[in-house]
Amino acid sequence: MVAGTVNASASADRLGAQLVNSHWYRVAPLAPRLRDALRVHLHRYRDQLWYVVEDGINGKYHRFDAPAYRIIRLLDGRTTLEQLWLRLAAQAGEHTPSQEEILALLGQLHGLDLLAADTMPDLTELREREAKQSRQRWRQRWLNPMAIRLPLVDPDRLLGRMVRALNPILNRWGALAWMAFVAPALLLAGLHWHELTQNFGEQLLAMDNLLLLALLFPLVKVLHELGHGIACKLHGGEVHDMGVMLLLFLPVPYVEASSAWTFADKRARMLVGGAGMLVELAVAALAFYLWLLLEPGVARALAYDVAVLASVSTVLFNGNPLLRYDGYYIASDALEIPNLAPRASQYWIYLIERYLLKRGRAHSPVAARGEAGWFLFYAPLSFAYRLIVMFSIAAFVATQYFVVGMALALWSVVTGLGVPLYKGLAWLQRMVLKNEAGAPARRAVLAALAALALLLGVLPFPYRTQVDGVLSLPERAQLRAGQAGFVEALVAEPGQWLEPGDLVARLHDPAVERVQAVQAAREEAARARVDAALVDDPARAEQLRVELARELAASAHHRQRADRLEIRAAAAGRLWLDGANDLNGRYLREGHLLGHVMPDEPARVRVIVDQGAAEAIRRDGKTEIQLRLPFDVDRVWSARIVSAVPAASHELPSAALGRQGGGAVPTDPRDESGRKALVSHFEYELALPADFPHRLVGGRVAVRFVHAMEPLAPRLWRAARRLFLSYFKA
């Protein structure tokens, strides 16, 4: 489909000097006319008339607004341009289009091959124009990694027969049946979401599954495209182009239903745009129902692939209005804003020309009330979403096939960033360096560029990292059961001052005692055999000494296990026990935290930071650290780093920092302890001032690292580099 929007309206503030063109006398006697094969269709958007010109020869469609068509309708081959302009001046008054605008419109009509030629055409000019159009088609086809089109057949008659066959269900009752079929699948998919998304990337990108996808994807898209064609034929349109589109290098069919652009009813146009998605969602629902019913195997894998293809591709591509696929055209008709994407880009160019370059001749593409707001937000959102989708697909593929993913990423950089940047710089060069915008514009642009360079590369900005920490004691202050057993007696009382080595509790484990008694007997028997051999057979006694040494080592090991039944303090401080009244007779697992020995010094703070903050801490050397307590937010405490884990880890120092414990760090839902983070981090231990009054353990605190100020450019570069390296684990 080819769309051209020409806005030839003029406003009163641009009359006067611009109303007359110095070259007008050369074309004033000409009487141009439109080609005979053109048909005009009237549309109404936001109470504004628009005209769709259908070129029956090449199947192209061009949309013009009312001011432009007021000029076009007078091109009858009998009215000269001078007569045309005088008639427009008499009719439009102060809104008379300038001669320059009329010439610009004629140039666009000529470039679109809408004007007829009564004389022998200039073959050189035609050859140059065809070469230019060929280059444009080549760029559109090959510089978009998402879609490359190859036309094949004319399906118009086949679609006509299909419409007649399906006519009994192509009505309101058919729509209700579709909703009744698809809606339960959406609800059931939510209930089975974890099962559907578990190991999604590994399942989808496995080599054997890729072969299935290569076979299934074209079949699913055949139904999608037939939906477009059937809807178009249902409302009286024609479909003469069907072929293959390479979507992400997968061959899929397409149907050219652009004749729907001539439909006066916007609901008919929206139905044509959404028909493919309606068919695809029905296919996805059917495949999902089969996936629920089938047993694991090849058939169930096929159903899963079809359900994913027919749903994910619809949401990410066809149904999203930020990409120029079905959802975009539906949104354009629903909002009644024709040519939404190009006019949104033109609006941003207008804003730059009008307010940055101070061009009084800058013309806004806004043709109706309410369009400006949509233009303002659509262009940047669409650009950002295209980049996100392209890079996400490249990164997703690169996790399994690195070279292919990197090729897609490079292609995305060139087409998504390189080409728009090149066009923007070329436009800026024309406006400023070639002085099309004038000296004030050049000064404004140079000032803006200097301010941007100053902002990104020179001016230092505050650099801070805000994280959560947890108050904890050193490992030596923790009282843990060194051996599983039952609490036999508490020797120390809670609140009692302890010195290193003081006994706190004694555990009892009958199994350990039995094993120790058996081992003592084995040791005694081995010793007796050695003593007897020394008298009867000295040579054998040496061999038995080796056996005795093994038994002595085993006895020492069991004595150590028995010694670990005694829980002793490893540091000086006051005893704090968790549930001291319920400890007697209680069974404790090995490593169970019984309590703490609270020293007089404050607790330590254990925090985790990402790689960027860790690099800043190492680079600064003396990073200022501030700390706030959740119950005393008005006071800020200083802290200092006393130790750091030298390597990145996924293990959290406390479950309180993870999502399951109420913290902000995303954790692995499969980890029952809640201490396995999804992203690696670096751990630091912070010491608090000696006058810190609170003796808390296990509570969360807010920690802020105040790094040295620096410009934004190096920080953005390091962030992008870390993101790339961390994603690919390089």
Question: What is the mean predicted confidence (pLDDT) over 299-316?
Answer: 83
What pLDDT is recorded for position 10? 32
713 with 571, same domain: the answer is no
The domain boundary residue, chosen from 93, 123, 138 = 138
What pLDDT is recorded for position 114? 85
What pLDDT is recorded for position 8? 33
d(CA 234, CA 30) in angstroms, rounded, equals: 44
313 with 384, same domain: the answer is yes
DSSP 115: B
Domain of 40? 5-138
What pLDDT is recorded for position 176? 92
In single-letter form, the type of residue at position 362 comes to A
Whether 289 contacts 185, CB under 8 Å: yes
Place of tokens 């140079």: 446
Q: What is the pTM of this model?
A: 0.61
Cross-strand partners of 700: 470
544 with 645, same domain: the answer is no
Domain annotation covers residue 608:
yes
Res. 12: pLDDT tops 50: no
DSSP 98: P
Q: Which residues, including other chains, have CB under 8 Å from residue 566's CB and lie 6 or more apart?
A: 503, 505, 506, 507
Model pLDDT for residues 607-620, shown as the tens digit of each residue: 888 877 788 888 77
Model pLDDT for residues 101-144, shown as the tens digit of each residue: 888 888 888 888 888 865 444 445 545 655 665 566 555 555 55
More confident position, 150 or 275: 275
d(CA 96, CA 76) in angstroms, rounded, equals: 20
Place of tokens 């968790």: 578
In single-letter form, the type of residue at position 726 comes to S
Sign of CA dihedral 714, 720, 723, 727: negative
Q: What percent of the chain is predicted at pLDDT more than 70? A: 81
In single-letter form, the type of residue at position 434 comes to K
The domain boundary residue, chosen from 450, 472, 505 = 450
Domain annotation covers residue 444:
yes
Domain annotation covers residue 223:
no
Confidence of residue 181 (pLDDT cuts 50, 70, 90): very high
Phi, psi values for residue 511, rounded to 5°: -65, -40
In angstroms, what CA-CA distances link 231 with 267, 330, 504? 11, 14, 82
d(CA 255, CA 230) in angstroms, rounded, equals: 10
501 with 573, same domain: the answer is yes
Mapping DSSP onto H, E and C, the string for 272-328 reads: HHHHHHHHHHHHHHHHHHHHHHCCCCHHHHHHHHHHHHHHHHHHHHHCCCCCCCHHH
551 with 580, same domain: the answer is yes
Question: What is the mean predicted confidence (pLDDT) over 676-681?
Answer: 77
Domain annotation covers residue 501:
yes
Confidence of residue 431 (pLDDT cuts 50, 70, 90): low
Domain annotation covers residue 254:
no
177 with 273, same domain: the answer is yes
Place of tokens 């890729």: 210
432 with 507, same domain: the answer is no
13 with 50, same domain: the answer is yes
What pLDDT is recorded for position 9? 33
294 with 331, same domain: the answer is yes
Model pLDDT for residues 239-250, shown as the tens digit of each residue: 888 888 776 566
Question: What is the mean predicted confidence (pLDDT) over 87-104?
Answer: 78
Token pair for residue 325? 């696929």
Identify the burial level of 160 via C-beta atoms within 10 angstroms of its C-beta, where 0-12 means exposed, 13-18 middle and 19 or more buried: middle
The CATH number of residue 98's host domain is 3.90.930
Domain annotation covers residue 474:
no
296 with 351, same domain: the answer is yes
Cβ neighbour number for residue 286 with a 10 Å cutoff: 17
Cross-strand partners of 63: 5, 52
96 with 55, same domain: the answer is yes
Confidence of residue 21 (pLDDT cuts 50, 70, 90): low
d(CA 50, CA 694) in angstroms, rounded, equals: 73
Identify the burial level of 156 via C-beta atoms within 10 angstroms of its C-beta, where 0-12 means exposed, 13-18 middle and 19 or more buried: middle
The domain boundary residue, chosen from 550, 568, 594 = 594
313 with 189, same domain: the answer is yes
What pLDDT is recorded for position 313? 75
d(CA 464, CA 501) in angstroms, rounded, equals: 43
Q: Closest by alpha carbon to 102, among 66, 62, 73, 71? A: 71
Res. 293: pLDDT tops 80: yes
Cβ neighbour number for residue 269 with a 10 Å cutoff: 25
Domain annotation covers residue 478:
no
Domain annotation covers residue 251:
no
Length of the chain: 730
Question: What is the mean predicted confidence (pLDDT) over 546-568?
Answer: 81
Whether 70 contacts 40, CB under 8 Å: no
Domain count, the chain: 4
More confident position, 418 or 692: 692
The CATH number of residue 635's host domain is 2.40.30
Res. 3: pLDDT tops 50: no
